[in-house]
Amino acid sequence: MQRLQDLKETFFGLEVVQQQLLISSAVAIGGILAYWVFRSKEAKTIPIGHGWWGKGKKPLSEDDQIHTFTITTSDEEIKDLHARLDLTRYTDPLEDSHFNFGFNSTYLKRVVSHWRNVYDWKKQVAALNQYPHFKTKIEGLDVHFIRVCPPSRENQKVVPLMLVHGWPGSFYEFYKIIPLLTQNHDGVAFEVICPSIPGYGYSEAPQKKGFDSVAAARIFLTLMERLGFSQFYLHGGDWGSAITTNMAQMKPDCVKGLHLTMFFPRRNFKMSLSLVIGRYLPFLVGFTREDVRRIYPYFQKNVWQMLEETGYMHIQATKPDTAGCAVNNSPVGLAAYILEKFSSWTDMKYRDLSDGGLERMFTLDDLLTNVMIYWTTSSMTSSMRFYKENFGNLINRLDFKTGVFVPTGLAAFPNELMHNPKVWAQTKYRNIYSYTFMPRGGHFPAFEEPQLLADDIVQFVKKVGKI
């Protein structure tokens, strides 16, 4: 009898365990369900927020007029530059080091001799002024931009398009692509708006901490609104890609399409797994043959090369003001710092050429004009700070966790710093209309291959707009 009682208690005990199990399962399933519901309701936008970046306290009202702006120079400015160029001290490069230790200073002397004796800044300023420049105050900062309308024509649809540059570039990167975009493409032509990121070139630098890509995005949205555009397309690479992505996340209704040349996925476990499997069974993880060609050998192309090439990023993301002192005070130091990127980011193999291959893709005049935009505005340090502001808060950034739902066009150039297959891009860009393996070109496609880039933007916009 006693045994029976024991058994009963055991069974009863089991029942309790069963019940507890049931409850915990219900809680777990409920949790998973809630997670899925939460996931499917994942924010599709990021808050627009607000900011003010001028000196001191925010005034009660601010001038919101748009003012025309003309780039100017003077004999003193050029005399000062020449004096500094003449005072430069060079360190001879190591034998056969080419561009592997950084800018070859023997070749640098040739660049500087061109700068000092042939390059004509006054002529370049006139060329810069060929497009109409403007400035307008937003969030306490004078924001510079150019705005180029297409020649008027009957039966032509004019599509507004903003182009955003990155570091160490400028609005000047787009000078060769602008005429290609404002020209008529079977009834479509772009009206191009091309701003300078605050702290870069002719846009005023923030005076307060915290100015990141989200803040820049909000300012550029305000700019488009002020210009009277309620719907427009965006294009960007480098920081321009981060900024335009943020713009699409803030006001998806205004952004008809987003076209990027550099894009970052949201890293997840599936991605790491696909990296391991993809080399052997690419079809299983959605890689194309071209993806495989561009990704592998992964360690050499991505991990090792990243370590070799991103020292600048670490400095700028930690102590920009210290290194900024040097490059902002020596035009030759500034040129070496900027132009080294125009060598290796065009093609990593150029590191093995004694002249960095710089003149294969660009003219010295074009390269030096981009340097002069930083030099004459004294903006290198403030441009470098953008790294610290963006990398300072990597874990908590909402924009990193939020998808992008506007129609997106991705142009994957073969010499871009890192290749991201479409399946990876889809982890963040949820509405990819076009993904193009570009036949040639690197990190500065508008500067290197304006025609290829223009063609890709045109086909993307026609696809999205059904024109």
Ligand X SMILES: *[C@@H]1O[C@H](CO)[C@@H](O)[C@H](O)[C@H]1NC(C)=O
Interface ranges with ligand X (CB under 6 A): 93, 95-98, 104, 106-107, 354-355
Clarify whether 387 is annotated catalytic.
Answer: yes
Is residue 29 exposed (0-12), middle (13-18) or buried (19+ Cβ within 10 Å)?
exposed
Residues whose CB is less than 8 angstroms from the CB of residue 234 and which lie 6 or more positions away in sequence, other chains included: 161, 162, 164, 244, 247, 248, 255, 257, 258, 259
- Report in angstroms how near the CB of residue 185 gets to ligand X at its nearest: 41
Six token digits for residue 430: 């949820």
C-alpha 205/C-alpha 383 separation (Å) is 8
In whole angstroms, the minimum distance from the beta carbon of 443 to ligand X comes to: 22
Whole-angstrom distance, CA of residue 235 vs CA of residue 277: 33
- Find the catalytic residue in 133, 233, 443, 456: 443
Q: Active site residue: 119, 387, 429, 435, which one?
A: 387
346, exposed or middle or buried, with CB in 10 Å at 0-12, 13-18, 19+?
buried
The residue (of 42 and 95) whose beta carbon lies closer to ligand X is 95
Between 98 and 226, CB nearer to ligand X? 98
> Cβ neighbours of residue 355 under 8 Å, at least 6 residues apart?
104, 107, 110
Q: In the complex, what is the shortest distance from the CB of residue 109 to ligand X, in angstroms, rounded to a whole number?
A: 8
Q: Which is nearer to ligand X, 107 or 220 (CB)?
A: 107
Q: Specify whether 443 is catalytic.
A: yes
How far is C-alpha 215 from the chain's CA centre?
Answer: 14
Q: Which is nearer to ligand X, 343 or 370 (CB)?
A: 343
75 catalytically annotated: no
Q: What's the min distance (Å) between Cβ of 338 and ligand X?
A: 18
Gyration radius from the chain CA atoms:
26
Least separation in angstroms between residue 100's CB and ligand X is: 8
Nearest alpha-carbon partner for 141 in 374, 366, 382, 368: 382
User: What CA–CA distance (Å, rounded) separates 113 from 166?
Assistant: 28
Closer by beta carbon to ligand X, 107 or else 115 = 107
Q: CB of residue 348 vs ligand X: minimum separation in angstroms?
A: 16
Q: Alpha-carbon distance 219 to 222, whole Å?
A: 5
Cβ proximity to ligand X: between 95 and 253 the closer is 95
Nearer residue to ligand X within complex by CB, 75 or 95: 95
What is the per-residue burial (b if ≥16 Cβ within 10 Å, else e) of 379-394? Answer: bbbbbbbbbbbbeeee
Determine which one of 142, 212, 238, 399 is catalytic: 238
* CA–CA gap between residue 57 and residue 60 (Å, rounded): 9
In this complex, which beta carbon is closest to ligand X, that of residue 355 or of residue 365? 355
Q: Cβ of residue 102: shortest distance to ligand X, in angstroms?
A: 11
Instruction: At 314, list the tokens.
Output: 């670490």
Min CB(42)–ligand X separation in Å: 52
Q: Which is nearer to ligand X, 100 or 378 (CB)?
A: 100
Say which amino acid occupies 204. Answer: E
Long-range contact set of residues 95-100: C-beta below 8 Å, sequence gap at least 24: 98/351, 98/352, 98/353, 98/354, 98/356, 99/340, 99/343, 99/344, 99/350, 99/351, 99/352, 99/353, 99/354, 99/356, 100/351, 100/352
Nearest approach, Cβ of 307 to ligand X (angstroms)? 22
Q: Annotated catalytic sites, by residue?
A: 238, 387, 443
